[in-house]
């Protein structure tokens, strides 16, 4: 019997364990397996294989029972998940259903989740911008959060490393606040976007640049992308369905298959991680038990049978997505860490921040009436942050970036039937060009924005439900007002008309899907949880490299930074393991 137990433990022992298979988890799997480590990737959701499990990817509009719209039944049952911009009839199977995964809202918060292999990398917006040194300097310069333990120079080569593999489309713009990267050819701006770009350059002397967005699309695949089995983006703009061409980056089309080719990957879906196991005791030099200071593995609950199993490894990467990573760590209690894993300073779960997507602006342009768009572009123009970049110039901290897109309004005459109707539909009447911009504001990490374990409620797997207390503050309100004022001015001087601002004060945080913090990096163990290599100060063989590790949020889409931080941390982990330090 003892031999059977030993064999069982051996079968459940790996060199590394990665919790989560989304954007950062996929990168951890790729890097660790690529360096020869037998790696177990645990995913709480179902398996989704590239191409095979994209059931709607080739469906035509008329094949959907509700013409692509979510049914009333679905809307009534899922008031949170249905608010997400990407959750449509063709992609609802990739979104968590509200009732199946409950959580507690101390303050209104829309927690959007995708529990399957690949996570939210299947239906993300694909914006990919580097941070600049100004972003890493933000907390120290502006006096919020804590100082970042890394600089742009330390992560610059890792940005290049992940960009080349993932495939990022963009233009070399030469902006100090938005460093250039390793780009595939950019998408083209529309004539109205080009006009706006030129007007802003003239009116603001280069201080308010407008650029084509940088995004994870293969506009011109390179050999490394063909080696992954991916092909050129077809500009279908059906990305939320899963791309059968691998035209945009996802864990399913890129990092996970790459890791599998090494023969070192074990991918285990339907595995709900309960907690991390801290190695409480081992024999010391005198034979007396002492604490090892290391984690030995994880406890996993089978999503269907609810049976718990333990898995063991020398290295553990926590990449369950920001709030779930916080939940797992808060639930990882031991005599050494009674308040959650590594939580000696009581900061675990605190200083959660996000991006403020609450407000938009729209306008019309009466020129270029002899021009319209042809085809579809899975991208838009982008307005990099221009407020408080080089100096503090407003009554609020930090700043905002913004998306900027355009389209020609059309009106079809639907009178008549049969051939008459067909002829009318084939000759739409064009109106003015219409433009829109959405703000992506940086929120300030605050202790009052936190997540915690509910003391009474548990989920279907017996794990405490996560209680979320996150809200906007006056700094966010000032930023929204400034966005309205500055964008109105910019559109006015460029000759746009019918300018309208749109704000939804009752729109809860969360729909940005850019949660960050709770397990922040820093230089001082008294004020942070992780060091510059994303290791716990108090437990060096546990790494956190998803959004939970972020000290502040900047204004840029965060996914590219998650990828770069993960690749950097994985490289360090393997080096330390080989030196015998883990």
Percent residues over pLDDT 90 in the chain: 91
Q: What confidence category does residue 424 fall into, taking pLDDT thresholds of 50, 70 and 90? A: confident
Encode pLDDT of 197-207 as tens digits: 999 999 999 99
308 or 421, greater pLDDT: 308
SS3 category, 240: helix
**Is the pLDDT at 146 greater than 70, yes or no?**
yes
User: For residue 510, what is the enclosing H or E element?
Assistant: none
Strands (E), 255-307: 265-268, 271-278, 282-283, 289-290, 295-302
**Is the pLDDT at 282 greater than 60, yes or no?**
no
pLDDT score recorded for residue 290:
54
Q: What confidence category does residue 460 fall into, taking pLDDT thresholds of 50, 70 and 90? A: very high
Integer-rounded Cα radius of gyration of the chain: 24
**Is the pLDDT at 281 greater than 80, yes or no?**
no
Average the pLDDT over 242-271 and give the result: 98
Contact 58, 234 (CB under 8 A): no
pLDDT score recorded for residue 32:
98
Measured CA to CA, the distance from residue 297 to residue 402 in angstroms comes to: 42
What does the mean pLDDT of the chain come to?
95
Q: What confidence category does residue 3 fall into, taking pLDDT thresholds of 50, 70 and 90? A: very low
User: For residue 330, what is the enclosing H or E element?
Assistant: helix 322-330
Average the pLDDT over 32-59 and give the result: 98
Average the pLDDT over 408-436 and give the result: 82
DSSP state of 521: B
DSSP string, 204-231: HTTSS--EEPPBSB-SS--HHHHHTT--
Query: What is the three-state SS of 66-98?
Result: CCCCCCHHHHHHCCCHHHCCCCCCCCHHHCCCH
The token pair at 558 is: 């965060």
Q: Give the number of other Cβ atoms within 10 Å of residue 562's Cβ.
A: 25
- Residue 434's nearest CA partner among 354, 497, 358 is 497
Question: 121's torsion region: left (phi>0), alpha (psi -120 to 50) or beta?
Answer: alpha
Residues sharing a CB contact under 8 Å with residue 352, sequence separation 6 or more, in sequence order: 322, 323, 326, 445, 449, 450, 451, 470, 515, 516, 517, 518
Average the pLDDT over 59-80 and give the result: 96
- Residue 519's nearest CA partner among 323, 305, 231, 374 is 323
Q: Give the number of other Cβ atoms within 10 Å of residue 280's Cβ.
A: 13
Measured CA to CA, the distance from residue 177 to residue 274 in angstroms comes to: 41
SS3 category, 182: coil
pLDDT score recorded for residue 5:
67
Average the pLDDT over 101-127 and give the result: 98
Report the range of poorest mean pLDDT among 119-123, 277-281, 302-306, 377-381: 277-281
pLDDT score recorded for residue 416:
75
Question: 260's torsion region: left (phi>0), alpha (psi -120 to 50) or beta?
Answer: alpha
Angle between helices 191-204 and 474-493 (to 10 degrees): 100
pLDDT score recorded for residue 1:
35
Measured CA to CA, the distance from residue 560 to residue 389 in angstroms comes to: 21
pLDDT score recorded for residue 421:
78
pLDDT score recorded for residue 21:
98
**Is the pLDDT at 372 greater than 90, yes or no?**
no
The token pair at 472 is: 């906007």
pLDDT score recorded for residue 293:
86
Q: What confidence category does residue 412 fall into, taking pLDDT thresholds of 50, 70 and 90? A: confident
Tokens 């939210």, residue?
120
The pair phi, psi for residue 559, each rounded to 5°, is -60, -40
pLDDT score recorded for residue 294:
95
pLDDT score recorded for residue 291:
59
Measured CA to CA, the distance from residue 256 to residue 273 in angstroms comes to: 19
pTM: 0.95
- Kind of pairing, strands 168-169 and 183-184? parallel
Contact 134, 532 (CB under 8 A): no
SS3 category, 491: helix
Residues sharing a CB contact under 8 Å with residue 153, sequence separation 6 or more, in sequence order: 133
Angle between helices 559-578 and 23-34 (to 10 degrees): 30
Measured CA to CA, the distance from residue 65 to residue 68 in angstroms comes to: 7
- Residue 429's nearest CA partner among 415, 408, 403 is 408
Q: Give the number of other Cβ atoms within 10 Å of residue 422's Cβ.
A: 10
Residues sharing a CB contact under 8 Å with residue 3, sequence separation 6 or more, in sequence order: none
Q: What confidence category does residue 410 fall into, taking pLDDT thresholds of 50, 70 and 90? A: confident
- Residue 381's nearest CA partner among 135, 187, 179, 128 is 187
Measured CA to CA, the distance from residue 463 to residue 44 in angstroms comes to: 13
The token pair at 414 is: 């639907």
- Kind of pairing, strands 308-318 and 539-544? parallel
């Amino acid at each position: 019997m003892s031999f059977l137990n030993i064999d069982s433990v051996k079968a459940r022992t790996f060199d590394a364990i990665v919790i989560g298979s989304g954007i950062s988890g996929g990168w951890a799997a790729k890097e660790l397996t690529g360096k020869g480590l037998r790696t177990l990737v645990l995913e709480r959701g179902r398996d989704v294989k590239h191409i095979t499990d994209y059931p709607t990817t080739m469906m035509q509009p008329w094949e959907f029972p509700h013409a692509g719209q979510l049914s009333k039944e679905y809307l009534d049952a899922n008031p949170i998940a249905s608010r997400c911009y990407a959750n449509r009839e063709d992609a609802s199977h990739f979104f968590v259903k509200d009732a199946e995964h409950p959580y507690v809202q101390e303050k209104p918060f829309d927690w959007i989740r995708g529990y399957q292999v690949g996570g939210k990398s299947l239906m993300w917006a694909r914006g990919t911008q580097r941070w600049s040194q100004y972003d890493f300097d933000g907390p120290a310069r502006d006096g919020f959060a804590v100082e970042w333990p890394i600089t742009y120079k330390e992560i610059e080569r890792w940005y290049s490393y992940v960009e080349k593999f993932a495939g990022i489309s963009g233009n070399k713009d030469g902006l100090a606040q938005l460093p250039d990267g390793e780009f595939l050819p950019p998408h083209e701006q529309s004539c109205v976007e080009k006009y706006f770009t030129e007007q802003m350059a003239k009116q603001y002397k280069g201080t308010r640049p407008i650029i084509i967005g940088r995004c994870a699309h293969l506009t011109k695949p390179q050999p490394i992308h063909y080696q992954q089995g991916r092909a050129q983006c077809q500009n279908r703009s059906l990305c939320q369905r899963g791309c059968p061409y691998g035209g945009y980056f996802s864990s399913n089309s890129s990092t996970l298959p790459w890791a599998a080719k090494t023969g070192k990957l074990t991918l285990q879906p339907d595995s709900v991680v309960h907690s991390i196991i801290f190695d409480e005791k081992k024999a010391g030099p005198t034979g007396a038990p002492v604490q090892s200071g290391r984690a030995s593995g994880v406890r996993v609950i089978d999503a269907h049978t609810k049976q718990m199993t333990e898995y063991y490894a020398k290295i553990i990467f926590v990449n369950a997505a920001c709030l779930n990573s916080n939940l797992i760590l808060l639930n990882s209690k031991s005599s050494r860490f009674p308040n959650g894993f590594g939580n000696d300073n009581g900061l675990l779960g605190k200083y959660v921040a996000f991006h403020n997507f609450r407000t938009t602006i729209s306008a019309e342009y009466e020129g270029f009436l002899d021009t319209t768009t042809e085809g579809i572009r899975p991208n838009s123009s982008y307005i990099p942050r221009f407020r408080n970049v080089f100096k503090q110039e407003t009554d609020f901290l930090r700043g905002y970036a913004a998306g900027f897109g355009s389209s020609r309004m059309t009106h079809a005459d639907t009178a008549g039937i049969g051939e008459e109707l067909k002829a009318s539909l084939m000759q739409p009447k064009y109106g003015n060009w219409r433009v829109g911009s959405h703000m992506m504001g940086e929120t300030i990490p605050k202790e009052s924005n936190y997540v915690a374990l509910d003391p009474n409620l548990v989920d279907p797997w017996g794990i405490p439900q996560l209680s979320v207390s996150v809200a906007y503050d006056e700094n966010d309100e000032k930023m929204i007002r400034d966005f309205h004022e500055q964008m109105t001015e910019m559109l006015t001087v460029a000759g746009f008309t019918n300018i309208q601002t749109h704000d939804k004060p009752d729109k809860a945080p969360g729909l940005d899907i850019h949660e960050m913090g709770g397990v922040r990096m820093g230089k001082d163990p008294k004020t942070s949880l992780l060091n510059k290599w994303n290791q716990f100060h108090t437990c060096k063989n546990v790494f956190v490299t998803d959004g939970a590790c972020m000290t502040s949020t900047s204004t840029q889409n965060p996914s590219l930074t998650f990828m770069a931080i993960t690749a950097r941390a994985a490289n360090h982990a393997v080096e330390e393991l080989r030196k015998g330090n883990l």
